[in-house]
A = this chain, B = another copy of it.
Amino acid sequence: MNETLETILNHKSIRKFKDIPLTGEQLNTIIASAQQASTSSYMMAYSIIGVTDETKKAQLAEITGQSYVKDNGHLMIFCADLHRHTLHATEDQYEEMVENLENSEHFLVAAIDAALAAQNAAIAAESMGLGICYIGSIRNQLNKVDEILDLPKHVLPLFGMVFGTPDAEPDKKPRLPKEAVYFENTYQKDHKEKLAAFDETIAAYYAGRQTNNRSDSWTDQMLRRFTKPIRMDVTGIVKKKGFNKQ
């Protein structure tokens, strides 16, 4: 197995970091790695905001409810960005392009471009011995995050990522069995029994892990997640920011 596969297959999200900021060289390597990811039709439809301002970090930590959003080696916010693509347009051209720019196709393009860049950043960081964690909980108060970062129309914060020198060694979290995720030629609509088998795996994991052990299963966790409305305001904010409108 090569080093890259080892890095990828040993991924664990890190939520506790030593008080060591990333070096400029580490940061540059991570950003260059993010930028080299594939991008839909060369659109490069994302931006990254590195947050170093302590006040902003504290505000974001409060929104997310996660102290490691403040205490880390570096914090980045990944944004969908279609603003850049309007900068060279005349007023007439802008009028001509806006409906197309604001459709679901380009919302998808921007979200996917940002995610591909982010995952390259994650792997690059991990290959250098750093730990990372994605921060989806910036979407708890997306309006506020948008304000804190002072983003123009057509730039939408999607998720954050924290980086740093790991100060914890969590267990590796199991994944669904391959047979529940990968299908050949035709999707298997009822794969309930594969999920039931996974429930046993994950129950054992939750019962046995070093910290925060509990009695739970994956299907229960998902039922709880989806029967409790979450972030119902994201739809409106996304549209207000000029994405996903038609």
Using a CB–CB cutoff of 8 Å, the interface residues on chain A facing chain B are: 2-5, 7-11, 13, 28-29, 31-33, 35-38, 40-44, 46-53, 56, 79, 83-89, 93, 96-97, 99-101, 103-105, 108-109, 111-112, 114-116, 118-120, 122-124, 127-128, 132-134, 136, 139, 149-152, 155, 158-159, 173, 175-176, 178, 180-187, 189-192, 195, 218-219, 221-223, 225-232, 234-235, 238, 244, 246
Residue from B4, B51, B158 in contact with A4 in the complex, judged by beta carbons closer than 8 Å: B4
Tell me the smallest distance from the CB of A153 to a CB of chain B, in Å: 10
Contacts of A32 in B (CB 8 A): 9, 178
Contacts of A139 in B (CB 8 A): 105, 108
Q: Contact: A189 with B103, CB < 8 Å?
A: no
Residue from B48, B97, B149, B186 in contact with A181 in the complex, judged by beta carbons closer than 8 Å: B48
Residue from B33, B49, B127, B192 in contact with A185 in the complex, judged by beta carbons closer than 8 Å: B49
Q: Contact: B122 with A123, CB < 8 Å?
A: no
